[in-house]
């Protein structure tokens, strides 16, 4: 419906609440995207049911058949498994890329039911005036096959240019740990981790990132991780496929120059 083309949360909320009341599902799964994070809690509040936001694992309990909803908590220091035994639906949002994409199984067919949206019955309290594009994001972080991530080890905003050059040669997206975002070196849309984006690229190159649990929560399903860090004890090496112990200000330009040479 054209009325739903833009992110109108009041309309989405009312539409989904009506559908849930009509179809009475046992479980409702949604993406913990900016849209899901924004309107799914409103749906749960109206239905007076529980919601576990930002799950990283889901399972059905063998006996009770309840949905086991697992997510990091207390700043990533604990992993909690939560159940919603009484209220329905059991609602969760799931972090994008927290799960590897499954193989297509032609035998398992779902039924798609198309429903009409009655926009006359709802009024939106918000109005979108205009949308701004993030001009710093050349390759979308969530969709990138390769991500070059900079951490506090870069030292200052200007040094992001050095890893941006490496990203350009590899057609990679630029990621960041939280401190550079907090210090205003790079916009929030680049942040990887518990309070940023969850990514799962084929190759993740972490430059000057220590590997705090809150950062690992956002990138540990990457296929190959290369860590460049001068501290051999840095926790990032525990999840790295390949580790380079050394000064990133020497290693990154060498890598960029070598790749440029190979490409030309
Ligand atoms: C509730 C909560 C949520 C959080 N969410 C996030 C999140 O979403 N994402 C996130 O990233 N963090 C998050 N954090 C912060 C997290 O705890 C860490 O503080 C952060 O990840 C550290 O970032 P860093 O690795 O860039 O910096 P540091 O931990 O300071 O590490 C910098 C690294 O650079 C290395 N280094 C320095 N100079 C060089 C050099 N010249 N060459 C090579 N290596 C060098 C150092 O050895 C060090 O290992 C969160 C924290 C909390 C409490």
Q: What is the CATH number of the domain that holds 236?
A: 3.40.50.1220
For 187-199, give one letter per residue: b (16+ CB within 10 A) or e: eebbbbbbebbbb
CB of 194 within 6 A of ligand 1: the answer is: yes
| 79: phi then psi, degrees, rounded to nearest 5 | -115, 120
Which of the listed residues 37, 213, 215, 245 should we mutate to test ligand 1's pocket, taking the one with most ligand atoms within 8 A of CB?
A: 215
CA of 236 to the centre of ligand 1 (A): 10
Whether 226 maps to a domain, the answer reads yes
* Residue 57 belongs to some domain of the structure: yes
For residue 17, what is the domain's CATH number?
3.40.50.620
Residue 239: the pLDDT is 95
Residue-number span of the structural domain to which 28 is assigned: 2-98+106-121
Q: Is 167 in the pocket of ligand 1 (CB under 6 A)?
A: no
**132 assigned to some structural domain:** no
One digit per residue, the tens of pLDDT, for the chain of length 264 reads 888 888 888 999 999 999 999 999 999 999 988 889 899 999 999 999 999 998 989 999 999 999 999 998 876 678 899 999 999 999 999 987 778 778 899 998 888 888 888 878 888 888 888 887 766 666 778 889 999 999 999 999 999 999 999 999 999 999 999 999 999 999 998 999 988 888 889 999 999 999 999 999 889 889 999 999 999 999 999 999 999 999 999 999 999 999 999 988
What element of type H or E holds 60?
strand 57-60
If one counts the domains in the chain, the total is 2
ipTM greater than cut 0.95: yes
Give the CA radius of gyration of the chain: 21
In angstroms, the CA 15 to CA 32 distance is: 18
15 CB under 6 A from ligand 1? Answer: no
> Is 212 within the bounds of a domain?
yes
151 lines ligand 1 (CB under 6 A): yes
Q: Which atom of ligand 1 is nearest to 236's Cα?
A: 49
Pairwise CA distance, residues 109 & 129, whole Å: 40
Do both 117 and 195 map to the same domain?
no
Q: How far does the centroid of ligand 1 lie from the alpha carbon of residue 178, in Å?
A: 7
Neighbours of 98 (CB within 10 A): 21
Q: Give the distance (Å) from ligand 1 centre to CA of residue 197.
A: 15
């Amino acid at each position: 419906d054209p009325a739903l083309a833009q992110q109108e949360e009041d309309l989405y909320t009312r539409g989904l609440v009506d559908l849930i009341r009509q179809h009475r599902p046992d479980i409702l799964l949604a993406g913990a995207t900016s849209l899901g994070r924004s309107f799914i809690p409103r749906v749960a509040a109206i239905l007076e049911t529980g919601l576990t936001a930002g799950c990283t694992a889901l399972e059905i309990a063998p006996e009770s058949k309840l949905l086991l909803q697992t997510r990091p908590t207390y700043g990533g220091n604990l992993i909690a498994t939560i159940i919603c035994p009484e209220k329905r639906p059991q609602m969760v949002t799931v972090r994008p890329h927290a799960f590897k994409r499954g193989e297509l199984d032609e035998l398992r067919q779902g039924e798609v039911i198309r429903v009409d949206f009655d926009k006359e019955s709802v009024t939106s309290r918000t109005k979108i005036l205009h949308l701004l594009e993030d001009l710093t994001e050349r390759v979308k972080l969530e969709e990138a096959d390769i991500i070059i991530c900079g951490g506090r080890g870069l030292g200052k905003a200007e040094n992001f240019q050095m890893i941006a050059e490496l990203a350009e040669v590899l057609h990679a997206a630029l990621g960041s740990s939280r401190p550079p975002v907090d210090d205003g070196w790079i916009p929030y849309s680049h942040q990887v981790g518990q309070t940023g984006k969850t990514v799962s690229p084929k190759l993740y190159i972490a430059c000057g990132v220590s590997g705090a649990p809150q950062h690992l929560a956002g990138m540990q399903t990457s296929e190959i991780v290369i860590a460049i860090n001068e501290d051999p004890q840095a926790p990032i090496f525990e999840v790295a496929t390949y580790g380079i112990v050394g000064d990133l200000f020497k290693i990154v330009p060498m890598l960029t120059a070598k790749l440029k040479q190979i490409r030309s």
